[in-house]
Amino acid sequence: MPNPSLLILAGDGIGPEVMAETRRVIDWFGARRGLAFDVTEGLVGGAAIDAHGTPLADATMAAAQAADAVLLGAVGGPKWDNLPFDQKPERGLLRLRKEMDLFANLRPAVCFAALAGASTLKPEVIGGLDIVIVRELTSGIYFGSPRGIVTEGGQRVGINTQRYTEGEIARVARAAFALARQRSGRVCSMEKANVMESGVLWREVVQAVHDAEFADVALSHMYADAGAMQLVRAPKQFDVIVTDNLFGDLLSDLAAMLTGSIGMLPSASLGAPAAGGRPKALYEPVHGSAPDIAGKGIANPLAAILSFGMALRYSFGQGAEADRLDRAVERVLAGGIRTGDLLQLPGRKPVGTKAMGDAVLAGLEADLAAG
């Protein structure tokens, strides 16, 4: 069997800094756990514009389509801010998402015990939180037509259209149910069926997919506004939340920020399962290229490293090794090791990006030794 392939697109700003530490973690799993990957690297975003005049070269796009998983750092920065909209670094990322048809965006909100004090919520509300929001990523109001700003009756009118087909709802529902089967087996679907026809259809289709294919998973429905309140009031009641593009955009940011720094947040974007069962997949930290700290060696690499953990879990069927990586990170944080973006312990100095990478590798070794 050939090794599974990983394409690393480090991108701009802190992207290459956090991906360098992620690469060391990938290599650790190869050396210490027999999980070797064929890793190739490519350019995306501003780095690709500088080298090729385009934010994603066709050859890189083809490499992404062929890879078993893509790991992306971050794109963008002031150097490219004044380019026309269709030439900006972000277009590279959008092209990847569109052409790989990555319709399910998984955003975990996990509260590491050592960081419970960093949340704006009380530690007892947030401690031990482990939920995933599955956001539909390729349809809905951000893509529906008609759209635009038109003039009607002498004044301008802004128009966007929420539009979902049954197929689009069903496939993201399947992704959420399949995910729940790997977790504690509960899905809460969120929409606004009380005021939106698209919400009525969403609820019907999610229920139908459940009844026909995933009756073993516990399904509940909630209006998205109530869901926002419940996420702040008692987030641990949830396991997997599935929702549309707009509500998912809001709810995933809300849920993620409950848990502390943006430097801790991984994500996965998954497409349809291919013949071998492995979905098209792109893993990336939620944060951007952080131009304000780029080049200083102080970025937190944990979001990127944990994104590789999601790849282990969702692309490569290595849940136990992903758990090992999570435990290593927990161990690092419990030991008081923090980059500057995380709440500091009294008397401790923040560490830099590379020292955090060193600490994760040491944490992995310690976890292995602990059996």
Q: How far is the CB of 80 from ligand NAD (least distance, A)?
A: 8
Which residue in 164, 249, 280, 283 is the catalytic one? 249
CB of 58 to ligand NAD, least distance (A): 20
Whole-number Å distance between alpha carbons of 286 and 351: 21
Catalytic residue among 130, 225, 323, 358: 225
Q: Does 244 qualify as catalytic in the annotation?
A: no
Candidate list 68, 88, 164, 192, residue with the active-site label: 192
Taking CB under 6 A as the criterion, the residue among 138, 259, 300, 315 binding ligand NAD is: 300
Instruction: Answer whether 55's CB lies under 8 Å from 44's CB.
Output: yes
* 50 assigned to active site: no
Quick note: the x/- pattern for ligand NAD over 236-275, rule CB under 6 A, is --------------------------xx------------
Per the annotation, the verdict on 192 as an active-site residue is yes
Q: Please say which residue, 263 or 279, places its beta carbon nearer to ligand NAD.
A: 263
In DSSP terms, 130 is beta-bridged to 110
Judged by CB under 6 A, the residue of 84, 149, 292, 347 near ligand NAD is 292
Query: 298 vs 364, which CB is nearer to ligand NAD?
Result: 298
Choice among 27, 101, 130, 253 that is catalytic: 253
Find the binding residues for ligand NAD in span 41-80 (CB under 6 A).
Answer: 74-77
Among 123, 185, 291, 319, binds ligand NAD (CB under 6 A): 291
Least Å distance, CB 97 to ligand NAD, is 10
Q: How far apart are CA 284 and CA 177, in angstroms?
A: 22
| Cα–Cα distance, 299 to 302 (Å, whole number) | 9
Rule CB under 6 A: say whether 93 interacts with ligand NAD.
yes
Q: Within 13 Å, how many C-alpha atoms sit on residue 227's CB side?
A: 27
Whole-number minimum distance, CB 209 to ligand NAD, in Å?
A: 29
Answer for which of 290, 325, 356, 360 binds ligand NAD (CB under 6 A) is 290
Q: Residue 341 phi/psi, 5° resolution?
A: -75, -15
Total interface residues for ligand NAD by CB under 6 A: 23
**Catalytic residue check, 216:** no
Q: Which of 79, 130, 142, 323 is catalytic?
A: 142
Would you say 4 or 260 has its CB closer to ligand NAD?
Answer: 260
CB of 296 to ligand NAD, least distance (A): 10
Per-residue interface string for the shown chain with ligand NAD, residues 321-350, x marking contact by CB under 6 A: ------------------x-x---------
Q: Which residues pair with 42 in a beta bridge?
A: 9
Range in contact with ligand NAD (rule: CB under 6 A) among 27-35, 204-212, 297-305, 312-320? 297-305
289 binds ligand NAD per the rule CB under 6 A: yes
The verdict on 287 binding ligand NAD (CB under 6 A) reads: yes
Report residue 139 as tokens. Answer: 């349809």
193-212: contacts with ligand NAD (CB under 6 A)? none
**Beta strand 240-243 pairing with 130-136:** parallel
What is each CA distance from 152 to 141, 147, 161, in whole angstroms? 21, 14, 17
- Known catalytic residue: 253? yes
179, β-bridge pairs:
none
The residues binding ligand NAD (CB under 6 A) are 14, 18, 74-77, 90, 93, 262-263, 284, 287-293, 299-300, 303, 339, 341
Active-site residue list: 142, 192, 225, 249, 253
